[in-house]
């Protein structure tokens, strides 16, 4: 047990088992989490790694709950839920922790007050935990006053991400200590139980249904419409939920594709997606699956009320004809479920792409080349197209449908397709002997070729 930090009032902190009221569900859930965070090395290192922290083997992590800080505003009685202290031997890093469970939401007033409190006490960061998803720990669900984060960093972890990391650590073999594995398993079991107050993202906001109604009625939408920002924000949370579900299903870390500019500026990501939604009435993003042939693209079309999941792969370059290249693809999809599956073929130059149901191509591959006999296909895009109709507008149904779509697509396509890769060049006949590639032999060969050109 580490010494109590100087900025914490003596005796005003609990270690692992705080005395809490029966109604303090947040305190109970956080204390169990922090106990595992401190005592399961892999969990602490994994989560702190999302804050770009590299911890050595001698790094010590201490956690406290229900702390009272030595310096505080006389106007506000603030008592953060927890404190994390990371001691590397050379330096100490500290963070206040604020947790929310159930329907409770983070508020600007509270988090901005904690940022000011952290600065007053020389604390490095504030970390929030809630049911809200964010793609990166450096992105926060709230837009806080930028001046407050100049001296104190603000981070966010979702409970859903914690659950996923527990499972990945258990399955990866990174944790080989029996007691730590038991703690990980018990933490995951507890967080998945309704009594913990942890609830993963499972429904869109009311703005989603309102947008569907507006599009159906032909209403003109602009990026300044606050409802569009709500829809985009919920879409991003749904993407993160999809990534966590896929991560648990495949036992590897799956993530949402984000550009460098979007990673450094969450407002940029929100603004671009909102502008795109207003113009196209469609949301689209990509999910990165480890070792997959390509990124998985997921889109939601508000005009057609269609959800589409797709993956694009280049056609094999070592096959000359379209029929042979298509056979390469269909061989990999021979046992897949063909319902709602389509294949889009890309052709060279300005030739328009063509599309056929997967079932049709499996039955009769020749239909793909009937109107393109003089061209050779360059790439394939495999699509799962689900027409949801009225279900699309129901905010309690659309999230489960999105999760079902990406899981089905990966099982039937993503996990079966291998990208084509050119084979390494072979040594030509007659050049295997060392003498044939020596400096002298090469010089003689060049001299001979030069003489032949002058004759």
Q: What residue spans define the domains of the chain? A: 25-196, 206-414
Q: What is the pLDDT of residue 272?
A: 93
Place of tokens 């295997």: 432
Q: What is the pLDDT of residue 19?
A: 46
Cα separation, 84 vs 77, whole angstroms: 20
Q: What is the pLDDT of residue 20?
A: 46
φ and ψ at 385, to 5 degrees?
Answer: -110, 115
Q: Which residues of the chain have pLDDT under 50?
A: 1, 12-17, 19-20
3-state secondary structure of 128: strand
Residue 310's CB is within 10 A of a number of other CB atoms, namely 21
Structure tokens at 397: 């149904």
CATH class name, domain 25-196: alpha beta
Which residues are CB-neighbours of 295 under 8 A, at least 6 positions away? 257, 286, 287, 288, 289, 311
């Amino acid at each position: 047990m580490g010494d109590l930090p100087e900025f914490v009032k003596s005796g005003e902190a609990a270690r692992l088992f705080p005395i809490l009221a029966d109604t303090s569900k947040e305190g109970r859930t956080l204390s169990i989490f922090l106990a595992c965070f401190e005592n399961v090395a892999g969990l602490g290192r994994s989560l702190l790694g999302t804050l770009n922290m590299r911890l050595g083997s001698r790094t010590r992590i201490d956690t406290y709950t229900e702390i009272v800080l030595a310096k505080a505003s006389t106007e506000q009685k603030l008592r953060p839920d927890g404190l994390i202290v990371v001691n590397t031997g050379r330096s100490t890093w500290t963070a206040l922790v604020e947790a929310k469970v159930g329907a409770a939401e983070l508020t600007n007033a509270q988090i901005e007050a904690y940022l000011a409190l952290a600065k007053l006490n020389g604390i490095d960061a504030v970390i929030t935990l809630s049911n809200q998803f964010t793609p990166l720990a450096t992105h926060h669900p709230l837009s806080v006053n930028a001046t407050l984060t100049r001296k104190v960093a603000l981070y966010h972890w979702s409970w859903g991400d914690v659950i996923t990391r527990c499972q990945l650590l258990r399955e990866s073999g990174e944790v080989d200590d029996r007691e730590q594995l038991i703690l990980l398993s018990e933490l995951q079991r507890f967080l998945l139980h309704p009594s913990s107050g942890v609830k993963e993202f499972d429904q869109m906001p009311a703005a989603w249904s309102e947008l569907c109604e507006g599009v159906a009625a032909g209403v003109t939408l602009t990026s300044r419409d606050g409802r569009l920002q709500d829809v985009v924000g919920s879409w991003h949370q749904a993407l993160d939920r999809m990534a966590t579900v896929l991560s648990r299903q495949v036992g590897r870390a799956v993530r949402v594709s984000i550009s460098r500019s979007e990673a450094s500026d969450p407002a940029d990501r929100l603004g671009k997606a909102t502008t795109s939604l207003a113009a196209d009435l469609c949301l689209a993003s990509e999910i990165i699956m480890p070792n997959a042939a390509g990124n998985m693209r997921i889109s939601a079309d508000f005009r057609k009320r269609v959800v589409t999941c797709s993956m694009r792969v280049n056609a094999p370059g070592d096959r000359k004809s379209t029929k042979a290249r298509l056979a390469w693809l269909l061989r990999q999809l021979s046992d897949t479920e063909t319902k709602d599956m389509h294949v889009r073929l890309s052709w060279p130059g300005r030739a328009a792409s063509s599309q056929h149901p997967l079932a049709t191509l499996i039955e009769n591959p020749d239909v793909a080349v009937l109107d393109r006999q003089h061209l050779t296909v360059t790439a394939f895009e495999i699509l799962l197209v689900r027409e949801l109709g009225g279900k699309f507008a129901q905010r309690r149904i659309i999230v489960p449908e999105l999760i079902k779509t990406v899981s089905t697509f990966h099982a039937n396509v993503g996990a079966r397709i291998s990208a084509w890769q050119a084979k390494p060049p072979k040594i030509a006949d007659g050049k295997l002997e060392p003498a044939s590639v020596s400096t002298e032999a090469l010089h003689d060969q060049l001299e001979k070729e030069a003489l032949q050109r002058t004759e």
